[in-house]
Amino acid sequence: MPQATPVVEGLFTDTANGPRLTGSRCAGCDMPYLPVSALCHNPDCDAPDLQPAEFGPWGVIWSLARQDYPPPAPVKFDEPYQAYAMAVVDLDDGLRVLGRVATDDPESVDVGQRVELIIDTLAHDEDGKELSTWKFRVVEQGAGA
Amino acid sequence: MRDVAVIGLGMHPWGKFKDKSVGDLCRVAVDQALADAGVAWREIEGVAAASSRFSGGRGWGLNGNDVVDDLGNTGVPVYNLSAGCAAGGNAFNVGWSMVASGIHDVMLVVGGEKMPKGFIQTSGVEEVTDPEYLRQVCVGMPGPAFWGAMCRRRMAKHGTTEEQLARIAVKAHANSVHNKWARFRKEFTLEQVLGSAMVSYPLRLFEICPVSDGAAAVVICSADIARANSRRPVWVAGSAVATARFDDGIPRGLAGPVPAHGEAYHSEAALAVEKAMAMAGVNPPEVDFMELQDNTVFYELSFPEEWGFCKPGEAEGLMEAGETTPTGSMPINPSGGFQSFGEATTAQGIWQVCELVTQLRGDGGGRQVPGAGVGLAQALGLGGNGSAVVMRSEL
């Protein structure tokens, strides 16, 4: 992959084992956080500290949406606009996270499909520089809701 | 706690009014509410107002101060309430609280808004510390796509069809024809709704509320004053606000925990509704109609189920059987709803109270719920804010 700039720093990384989201997890109640959180916000937990944590790559599509019209700023996309799919994914490690779905066929994406976290091009900025973000790639058809 | 009545309502019709200021809209609503109540401006002891992000308020959400300046500075205390799109509902709750607790006897509750063009975007804070900003920059999920994702989940779970979604919009607009305050007072056919542009599959343009300008106001007072002075009081049986539960499972920012307790959606709305109904001492079968926040048709299916008005998966069938029309067994949004008004965000919670009062007075005309005695209204807003009110025609 060519050198790309993360659209926002600190949310994902490419490890030796592949892409991961980078957040925190509570040492007390195991609650996952993305982005990194300094404190646990679970009202039933009074653990003092959070540990750095990586999330992914496997999960299941809880639901999804299709962006059928070009969205306004600050959403980023390249011209000419192409409708994209985004999913709400329940990662196997307990994080429910949003992400675009990397596909040329948004209509093929569905609830219950198994997905893998990837790092992919989001768009290019005014200077032509590539901006990257995390996305999901469908790896297996699912069984619905 | 004292009993509290609404004794006057006023509204500026919803629409787009480029030659009017938000102050102009509020003045129309307030003047009507005072006249309807038979109360002079000088008799108002407190003002609870919805704070707007979009118009008026001098950049500080001082929308109540704008109203007081316009009506004439009497030294009246002003409470400006910010709760995103639930601000009107929250302002009503604060006004009710102060009259119920005896701090003030007569109060004005008001909200007005002139909205910028297009769907509402983000929180307006362009910083990576803002979860809404992160969601847009990293993923790109505007409001309609968020609603689309909620709706897709329902389709997968309950088999909801695009035609069923469209029928809800047809029902909403059939009601709006009878509401002089609504912006879109026009019937739509199923074909017209299904033929409107796809915004975020499965939601089409005519199934999503646009933004509007509008203003609404009510005068509320203690029971003693209402009985002595008002011809047509309507009673507040329960009023509540709430915020979202920590792990309710809605993707509000970028991420959260997979909820431990199964499917749950807008916990802030459910909590407020539960509290208001408990305070009123009513269960779903005793509620004659509800005004719920239908930013999109999806909510007419999900909210009644979340609040215990029907079982999960039943809402489509009830809607198709006509039970959600004003003459059905579970009337939803006889006003025409947000789909017919468009959203003047911070005025919505007060406009809903106006519809409850109109229905409970029996003034609904062609959209009247026959024999309406108990009504429920619910709003929600950014930040996980929810509000609800239950009103009765008789104490």
Q: Which residues of A touch B149 (CB under 8 A)?
A: 63-65, 86-88
Q: Quick check: helix, strand or coil at residue B52?
A: coil
* pLDDT value of residue B121: 61
| pLDDT (tens digit per residue) in A67-97 | 999 998 889 999 999 999 999 999 999 999 9
* pLDDT value of residue B124: 66
3-state helix, strand, coil split of chain A in percent (to 5) is 0, 50, 50
Q: Which ranges of chain B have pLDDT less than 70?
A: 119-124
Q: CATH classification of B131-211+243-392, choosing from 3.90.550.10, 3.40.47.10, 3.30.1110.20, 3.40.50.80?
A: 3.40.47.10
Architecture of the domain made up of B4-118+213-229: 3-Layer(aba) Sandwich (3.40)
ipTM over 0.90: yes
Residue A36: inside a domain: yes
Residues B179 and B331: their CA atoms lie apart, in Å, by: 16
Residue A72: inside a domain: yes
Which among B133, B255, B259 has the least Cβ separation from residue A74? B133
* pLDDT value of residue B248: 86
Residue A66: inside a domain: yes
Residues B34 and B21: their CA atoms lie apart, in Å, by: 20
Mean pLDDT of chain A: 93
Q: Which residues of A touch B138 (CB under 8 A)?
A: 7-8, 11, 122, 133-134
The 10 Å CB-count burial string (b at 16+, else e) for B283-294 is eeeebbbbbbbb
Looking at this protein, which amino acid is placed at residue B105?
D
| End-to-end CA, chain A | 34
Query: Which of B127, B252, B254, B296 to probe by mutation at the A interface, max A CB count within 10 Å?
Result: B254
Q: Which residues of B touch A (CB under 8 A)?
A: 118-119, 121-122, 126, 128, 133-142, 145-146, 148-150, 152-153, 155-157, 197-201, 246-247, 249, 251, 254-259
Residue A74: inside a domain: yes
| pLDDT (tens digit per residue) in B105-126 | 999 999 999 998 776 665 667 7
Segments of chain B assigned to CATH 3.40.47.10: 4-118+213-229, 131-211+243-392
Q: Are the beta carbons of A74 and B134 separated by less than 8 Å?
A: no
Do the beta carbons of residue B376 and residue B244 sit within 8 Å? no
pLDDT at A1 > cutoff 70? no
Which among A42, A76, A87 has the least Cβ separation from residue B137? A76
Domain count, chain A: 1
Residues B207 and B170: their CA atoms lie apart, in Å, by: 9
Query: Helices in chain B by DSSP H: which ranges?
Result: 22-37, 63-71, 87-100, 131-134, 143-158, 162-176, 190-194, 223-229, 267-280, 298-306, 315-320, 337-341, 348-360
Q: Quick check: helix, strand or coil at residue B24?
A: helix
Find, in chain A, the residue whose alpha carbon is nearest to that of B256: A96
Do the beta carbons of residue B175 and residue B369 sit within 8 Å? no
Name the packing angle between helices B298-306 and B143-158 (round to 10°): 60
Tell whether A35 is within 8 A of chain B (Cβ). Answer: yes
Residue B60: count of CB within 10 angstroms of its CB: 10
Range(s) of the domain holding residue A111? 5-140
Gap from B207 CA to chain A (nearest CA, Å): 14
Place of tokens 């109640």: A29
Residue A10: inside a domain: yes
Residue A92: count of CB within 10 angstroms of its CB: 14
Residue A145: inside a domain: no
| pLDDT (tens digit per residue) in A108-133 | 999 999 999 999 999 999 899 999 99
Q: Which residues of B touch A76 (CB under 8 A)?
A: 137, 140
pLDDT at A46 > cutoff 70? yes
Strands B255-257 and A18-26: unpaired
Rg (CA), chain A: 16
Which among A34, A73, A74 has the least Cβ separation from residue B255? A34
Instruction: For residue A116, give the nearest of A143, A87, A139 by alpha carbon.
Output: A139
